[in-house]
Chain A
Amino acid sequence: MINAIDDRCDFCGACVAVCPVDCIELRESRIAILDHCIDCMLCVWICPVEALAGADKNLESECEASMIAS
């Protein structure tokens, strides 16, 4: 559900750091979202350059994300 826009990504790792389920793999200039992503959107929100895009957020995932973030 979450997609990385390679042309924008700077491979900085901010998304990896906030991911609550360790589902982002980052190499020198490669990024992959793994299958166990829960669509919580934290990576999308932290990205300094809007290089990650998610599907329309649903209430459930927002709720879960705010619990994880607090």
Chain B
Amino acid sequence: MRSFYDCIVVGGGPGGAWAAKHASEGGASVLLLEKDREIGIPVRCAEAVGAAGLQAVVDPQPAWISNKIKGAVLVSPDGREVVVSGERDQGYMLDRKIFDYALVEIAAGAGVDVLTKAYVSDVIKPNGRVQGVRLQHMGQTSEVGCSVVIGADGVESRVGRWAGLRTSIKMKDMESCVQKTLSNIELDPDYVYFYFGKDIAPGGYVWVFPKNDRLANVGLGISGEFSRYKSAQKYLQDFIDKRFPHASVLYTVVGGVPCAPTLKKIVADGLMLVGDAAHQVNPMSGGGINTAMLAGQIAGRVAATAIAQQDVSEKKLRQYAAEWHKAQGKAHERFHKIKKAVYKLSDGDLNKTADAVLSLPPEERSLANIFKTALVKHPSLIFDVIRVFVH
């Protein structure tokens, strides 16, 4: 490890790995820092991704994929099941341990230096410009200088705060999540299941994502607006007791997912934020892998160009924010507004919507049609949607 790099990436998840890879390929010297002892561990993820979104940023390898998903089953509060399916491979169940390792291996192959068990305790910013990080590793504290810091340090991001950005998340936009990997259950491995309802997961949903026909990630998120009254853990236990009473639990993991608009400012002098740290998670689904990798790709490329041109000012780095908003920004804001509208529906509204959708012939049950049907049933939603599409 050197005492200066062109670019330091904080966080070794998919967003950080992809930022590091693309900065290195753009000609920058890059150091990737991970606070945990091993890349990819612990897996804090439900592991499902959209196939098209992933293919847009990387060529998916068979070893990364534990199961291929054909469609989704949306379950209303009173148990009506709406099946939405398409061609084969709508989505993948990733094996995140293997996937995250592979992405960092690819980055390392592109010339990135990697250090694990490396805790960043502050950014160095003489004169207000970020010029490096303070690093704690194996009982030693040191400073490593750089031209650009890319903060890919997850939902708990502090890199942005230290650089002066406002990154804390509003309670209502934060999903409090728990997941258990259940064995000894029976399900159709071709489908992912989503359960909705105020009693099941207020301001969120339950997911059942199969890894095979006997094993699945079963978890839920509830909005921070409700989590003070009953914890996510208790909601999940209630669901599992009812649905999968004979399951054995092989893994339990918890986490917070920011289902928020993208941060207003994701760059500062010498600093860029990527992925969960920048609130780039799809606010409707809570999925953040594809968007983090896309953002990382853009950020890495923009960083390398800025470094080569010896101008890492906020103004120059804004190119990253502009490209992110051009690629995903509008869709992201729209998803956030739709999320807010959908969570306003009562359980009765959701049941009626499911009923109406089930009256459609199966071949017409695309997501777009489900949405249209929901609109006909709930005219008040139309105003929300008009707001969504006019903006």
Contacts and interface: CB of A to CB of B under 8 A. Distances in A.
Interface of A: 10, 12-20, 22, 26-28, 41-42, 44-50, 69-70
Nearest to A50: B231
Interface stretch (B182-190, B252-260, B324-332): B252-260
B178 A17 contact: no
A36 to B, nearest CB: 13
Majority SS of interface residues in chain B? loop
22 contacts: A10-B252, A10-B255, A12-B256, A14-B155, A17-B157, A17-B167, A22-B158, A22-B168, A26-B156, A27-B35, A28-B35, A45-B227, A45-B228, A46-B171, A46-B227, A47-B231, A48-B227, A48-B231, A49-B231, A49-B232, A49-B254, A50-B231
Chain B CB within 10 Å, residue with most, of A12, A14, A17, A26:
A17
Given A45-B224, A46-B176, A48-B254, A20 B231 contact: no
Interface residues of B, number: 35
B156 A13 contact: yes
Given A48-B177, A48-B178, A17 B256 contact: yes
B44 interface: yes
B138 to A, nearest CB: 13
Contacts of A27: 35, 119
A48 B155 contact: no
A32 to B, nearest CB: 12
B314 interface: no
Contacts of B157: 17
Contacts of A26: 156
Contacts of B178: 48-49
A22 B174 contact: no
Contacts of A42: 171, 224
B238 to A, nearest CB: 14
Interface of B: 35-37, 44, 117, 119, 154-158, 161, 167-172, 174, 176-178, 224-225, 227-228, 231-233, 252-256, 258
A27 B155 CA distance: 14
A17 B161 CA distance: 10
A12 B258 CA distance: 13
Contact of B156 (A10, A16, A48, A70): A16
B171 A69 contact: yes
B35 A13 contact: no
Given A18-B224, A28-B37, A47 B176 contact: yes
A14 B256 CA distance: 4
A6 to B, nearest CB: 14
Nearest to B219: A48
Given A28-B37, A69-B172, 8 more contacts: A14-B177, A17-B169, A17-B174, A18-B224, A22-B161, A41-B228, A46-B176, A69-B170
Nearest to B231: A50
Contacts of A10: 252-255
Contacts of A69: 170-172, 224-225
A22 B165 CA distance: 12
List of 3 A-B pairs having minimum Cβ-Cβ separation, nearest first: A14-B256, A13-B156, A45-B228
B283 to A, nearest CB: 14
Nearest to B171: A69
A19 B156 CA distance: 9
Contacts of B155: 13-14, 16-17
Contacts of A16: 155-156, 158
Contact of B254 (A14, A41, A45): A14
A49 B117 CA distance: 25
B255 A12 contact: yes
Nearest to B228: A45
A48 B232 contact: yes
Contacts of B258: 17
A43 B35 CA distance: 21
Contacts of A47: 176, 227, 231
Contacts of B225: 69
A50 to B, nearest CB: 5
A45 B177 CA distance: 12
